[in-house]
Amino acid sequence: MDTRINHQIRSATVRVIGPEGENIGVISLSEAIHKAQEFGLDLIEISPNAVPPVAKIMEYGKFHYEQQKKRREIKAKSHTTETKSVQVKIGTGDNDMQLKAKKVAAWLAEGHRVKVDLFLWGRYKYMEFGFLKERLERFLKLIPHEFKLAEPIAKSPKGLATVLERAGKK
């Protein structure tokens, strides 16, 4: 985003806002630049797409600082959440289950969604649904972080799956 100042402004007339925020009105560019120089400040094009363009009389350094500050605030507020994935098998040992549960808890603490798959292969795919669901719920009980089920436990192409979210959203 290039901001035009003083003689870089291309319009013949501009709507000028004074240094105290007061509306000076629509005047010619040369007159506006002259007014800005009287105050010892710059004429900065705030809204180039307006008709006529809006320009403000202020110090360019201060304007630039405020723009950076706004961008930083927007960047801080925008937190991207990913859907992380963890896979558990029927025969996964207790220690491995604990490690995976801790990893899931860390992801939930960061605010990510977590997809938990109970991976089934071969004849495991044809086992009773209730038994398989109980195995997946046993893993979910090991997770030391509070969570809620974003999607209920259901059959998936890999076996059984569910999606977890952090319980207490900000």
The reply to whether 11 and 39 lie within a common domain is yes
> What is the rounded CA–CA span in Å between residue 166 and residue 108?
5
Which of 26, 52, 77 is the last residue before a domain boundary? Answer: 77
The reply to whether 56 and 130 lie within a common domain is no
Instruction: Tell me how long the chain is.
Output: 170
Residue type (1 letter), 37: Q
Is 1 domain-assigned? Answer: no
The reported pLDDT for the residue numbered 101 is 92
CA-wise closest residue to 139 among 157, 159, 122, 125: 159
The reply to whether 136 and 65 lie within a common domain is no
pLDDT greater at residue 111 or residue 17: 17
Q: What is the span of the domain harbouring residue 141?
A: 83-166
Containing H/E element for 116?
strand 113-119
pTM, rounded to two decimals: 0.54
Mean per-residue pLDDT, 23-49: 91
Number of domains in the chain: 2
The reply to whether 63 and 112 lie within a common domain is no
Mean per-residue pLDDT, 140-161: 89
The reply to whether 87 and 161 lie within a common domain is yes
Mean pLDDT value across the chain: 88
Summarize pLDDT for 86-128 with one digit per residue, the tens: 999 988 888 999 999 999 999 988 888 999 999 998 888 888 8
Sign of CA dihedral 122, 126, 128, 133: positive
